[in-house]
């Protein structure tokens, strides 16, 4: 029987690639989103993947969202915490709402989402949780104290929960993408991309969303049962850990 996978931020960018890849691998996929109804409906029409709208920064919304997914598809056995936002600013100019929005969406969502499924995973003695962190959570980034703090927090969350879930057959891992060819990166001015970003990447190119998705599919599989508490860097050699 096909396992049920939930992908937060699952209708655009890296999340959309993950949703597609998991479906191709035989999972029943629920793609969460919050803001762009048009993009979500287009994604659903193109892929046949069910889309579910809720705000991952709200514990109550996550509880209701997972309840609906499980009513439609069955118990959630795979959770991909991918949703994230940026509100960049140097700290001396950063407004409290910029800090709070990023921390709540990027880091708070891990608790809000995982808390809804962890008890069921423990009862069934199986679970796969993959958290999409970032290279900037590993090395930091100018103008992103909020984002870097949240993404570094995801790595700590991953390592702690991996210890809690190991005896119950639950693996918890993080992936730290580098610069990936998504809408967000495509919005960077071409001269900045070519002069300031690409020269820092030893392989000489951006990553593709599908490359991150393939990492997720492996970590979600039965074959990855030995791997837990790990951080997989996928950045073209830009930063080594």
Distance from C-alpha of 206 to C-alpha of 123, rounded to nearest angstrom:
41
Matching residue, tokens 């991909």: 80
Distance from C-alpha of 221 to C-alpha of 227, rounded to nearest angstrom:
10
With contact defined as beta carbons under 8 Å apart, do 147 and 91 qualify? no
Is 147 one of the annotated active-site residues of the chain?
yes
With contact defined as beta carbons under 8 Å apart, do 200 and 217 qualify? no
Q: H helices then E strands: how many in the chain?
A: 10, 7
**Given the residues 27, 147, 179, 239, the one annotated as active site:** 147
Distance from C-alpha of 225 to C-alpha of 220, rounded to nearest angstrom:
9
Q: CA 147, 151, 155 angle in degrees (round to 5)?
A: 165
Active site residues: 147
């Amino acid at each position: 029987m096909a396992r049920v996978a939930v992908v937060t931020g699952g209708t655009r960018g890296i999340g959309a690639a993950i949703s597609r890849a998991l479906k191709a691998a035989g999972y029943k996929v629920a793609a969460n989103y919050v803001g762009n109804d048009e993009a979500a409906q287009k994604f659903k029409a193109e892929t046949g993947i069910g889309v579910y709208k809720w705000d991952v920064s709200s514990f109550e919304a996550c509880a209701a969202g997972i309840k609906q997914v499980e009513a439609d598809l069955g118990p959630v056995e795979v959770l991909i915490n991918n949703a994230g936002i940026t509100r960049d600013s140097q700290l001396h100019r950063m407004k409290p709402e910029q800090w709070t929005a990023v921390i709540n969406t990027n880091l708070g969502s891990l608790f809000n989402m995982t808390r809804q499924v962890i008890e069921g995973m423990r009862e069934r003695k199986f679970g796969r949780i993959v958290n999409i962190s970032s290279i900037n959570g590993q090395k930091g980034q100018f103008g992103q104290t909020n984002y870097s703090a949240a993404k570094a927090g995801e790595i700590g969350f991953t390592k702690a929960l991996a210890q809690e879930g190991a005896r119950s057959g639950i693996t918890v891992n993080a992936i730290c993408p580098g610069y990936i060819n998504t809408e967000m990166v495509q919005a960077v001015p071409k001269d900045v991309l070519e002069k300031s970003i690409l020269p820092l990447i030893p392989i000489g190119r951006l990553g593709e969303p599908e490359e991150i998705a393939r990492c997720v599919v492996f970590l979600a599989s039965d074959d990855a049962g030995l791997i837990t508490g790990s951080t997989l860097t996928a950045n073209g050699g830009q930063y080594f850990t």
